[in-house]
Amino acid sequence: MGLRLKRPSRVPRGEEYDLVIVGAGPAGLSAAIYAARFLLKTIVVTVDVGGQLNLTDWVDDYPGMGKVRASDLVASFKSHAEMFGVKIVDGVKVTDIQEEDGDWLRVKGTRGLDLRSRAVILAVGSERRKLGVPGEKEFAGRGVSYCSVCDAPFFKGKDAVAVVGGGDAAFEGAILLSGYVKKVYLIHRRRGFRAKPFYVEELKSKPNVEFVLDSVVKEIRGDDSVKSVVVVNKVTGEEREIKVDGVFIEIGFQPPKEWYQKLGLETDDAGYLKVDEWMRTNKPGIFAAGDATTLWKGFRQVVTAAAMGAVAAYSAYNYLVEKGLYKPRSRAPAEASAKS
Ligand code: NAP
């Protein structure tokens, strides 16, 4: 099979939009679909299409879809937005958003991105949290992974791996890994889990999984690649070195707090963007949706992200109407022909 290289998107410079959506996970793509339905001239600028769905294998709780591959769900969100004429620019990171005279926002990014928009929706998700222990950085990509779903197959036939965390991602990853390796250690800092009960039940039923609870990772050791992980029991103080070929760190996400603050956007202490019930940030014309926000923080789901995206687009539309900036565009050809 030949290797097909993806052609990079053309990066817009000097163009003007009603709405720029930053991020193309479920929140950003849902916002794009709704914005297009409000006939806003919309562009999505993103580092990658899919967001956290790229780190998941299957989705079985998105209404109407049954059990679907996450990659298929992403493809269908994307083609839905494109059907309505939304442009998606992939492989670009937005670095700056500044107010300009005349109710414009100037949006700049990597690869020379420079455009003006009347409104912006930030749907940028969140970055992976790090353990911050010796060995983590040194062995990243040499046994240390932050995505079980992406990297599990590379460990096929290995003796043992550790998965760190007690949420859905750690459990989903450990279940998957238990099919690839001889032994999986689930290391978690307390005895209770955030993961959904059915994940917990399923992992407990696996004969090759050992739970290492009330325990934290002190160090990751190895030579060319990971060879062991040192854990400390927080209750007894006991230290244990466990031989593993890999360490999967699945301990959640950390928002880019400093960047938000540089843009003048208010966050909570953890760095999530403060929004009201209409997904408005403290800055007029800037909205936010999905995992980047403070909303429904304990329940991050595809359906909740998509809901936030839809509300943010509605809110952006209302903002433009109230400001007298709304100039409806013509419908995309696919939509126009579907209506006629
Ligand atoms: P999460 O739900 O925030 O869980 C993170 C886990 O890591 C928690 O158990 C937490 O412990 C632990 N942790 C955090 N910081 C730590 C540290 N410094 N050292 C050791 N442990 C630490 O994150 P997630 O599992 O990545 O999931 C993120 C979101 O995506 C969630 O809303 C989740 O429901 C969703 N998701 C859903 C699916 C699915 O439904 N198929 C799959 C993956 C993710 P504590 O519990 O003690 O705080």
- For the stretch 158-192, pLDDT in tens is 999 999 999 999 999 999 999 999 999 999 999 99
| Chosen domain end from 225, 249, 273 | 249
Kindly state whether residue 139 falls inside one of the protein's structural domains: no
Residue in this structure with the two tokens 């917990």, named with its chain if needed: 200
Ligand 1: residue whose CA is nearest its atom 36:
168
Same-domain pairing of 97 and 111 = yes
What are the DSSP calls for 228-283, one per residue?
A: EEEEEETTT--EEEEE-SEEEE---EE--HHHHHHTT--B-TT-PBP--TT-B-SS
Q: Domain boundary residue among 249, 273, 308?
A: 249
**Do residue 234 and residue 189 come from a single domain?**
yes
Is residue 290 included in any domain, yes or no? yes
Residue 4 domain-assigned (yes or no):
no
Catalytic member of 151, 168, 245, 291: 151
What is the CATH number for 48? Answer: 3.50.50.60
Cα of 167 to ligand 1 centre, how many Å? 4
Residue 177 phi, psi (nearest 5) = -65, -30
Question: Are both 113 and 185 inside the same structural domain?
Answer: no
Q: Which domain holds residue 204?
A: 144-249
**DSSP alpha helices (H): ranges in the chain?**
26-37, 70-83, 148-151, 168-177, 197-204, 257-262, 302-322, 333-339
- Tell whether 47 and 118 lie within a shared domain: yes
Higher pLDDT, 59 or 296: 296
Average pLDDT along the chain: 93
* 190 Cβ below 6 A of ligand 1: yes
- 239 and 257 share one domain: no
pLDDT at 337 over 60: no
Clarify whether 60 is annotated catalytic.
Answer: no
Q: Are residues 92 and 193 in the same domain?
A: no
Strand partners, 22: 45, 122
Our answer on whether the CB atom of 256 is closer than 6 Å to any ligand 1 atom is no
Q: Which pLDDT value is given to residue 334?
A: 59
- Between 8 and 226, the higher pLDDT residue: 226
Q: Do 19 and 123 lie in a common domain?
A: yes
Cβ–ligand 1 distance for 250 under 6 Å, the answer yes
Question: Do residue 185 and residue 288 come from a single domain?
Answer: no
151 is catalytic: yes
Question: Domain boundary at 249, 283, 301, which?
Answer: 249
Domain count across the chain: 2
Q: What percent of the chain has pLDDT over 70?
A: 95
User: Ligand 1: which residue has its CA nearest to atom 38?
Assistant: 168
Report the C-alpha gap between 229 and 175 in whole angstroms.
20
Q: Does ligand 1 come within 6 angstroms of the Cβ of 70?
A: no
pLDDT in tens, 280-329: 999 999 999 999 999 998 788 899 999 999 999 999 999 999 999 988 87
Residues 24 and 116 in one domain: yes
Say which residue the tokens 């409104």 belong to.
Answer: 119
Looking at residue 245, its pLDDT comes to: 98
User: Which residue is closest in CA terms to ligand 1's atom 22?
Assistant: 251
Residue 335 pLDDT: 57
Question: Would you say residue 271 lies in a domain?
Answer: yes
User: Does a structural domain hold residue 222?
Assistant: yes
Q: In whole angstroms, give the CA distance from residue 101 to residue 110.
A: 23
The pLDDT of residue 4 is: 42
Among 57, 90, 103, 147, the one annotated catalytic: 147
Looking at the domain assignment, is residue 202 inside a domain?
yes
Same domain for 242 and 259, yes or no, is no
In-domain check, residue 1: no
Task: Identify the weakest region by mean pLDDT among 132-136, 140-144, 223-227, 288-292.
Answer: 140-144
Taking only the tens place, the pLDDT of each residue in 14-24 is 999 999 999 99
Q: Return the best residue to mutate from 55, 300, 302, 304 for the ligand 1 pocket (most ligand atoms within 8 A of CB).
A: 300
Task: Kindly state the tokens that stand for 72.
Answer: 């298929």
Calculate the alpha carbon distances from 88 to 18, 47, 82, 124 in Å.
Answer: 15, 11, 8, 14
Q: Is 257 in the same domain as 245?
A: no
Q: 160 in a domain, yes or no? A: yes
| 261 and 122 housed in the same domain | yes
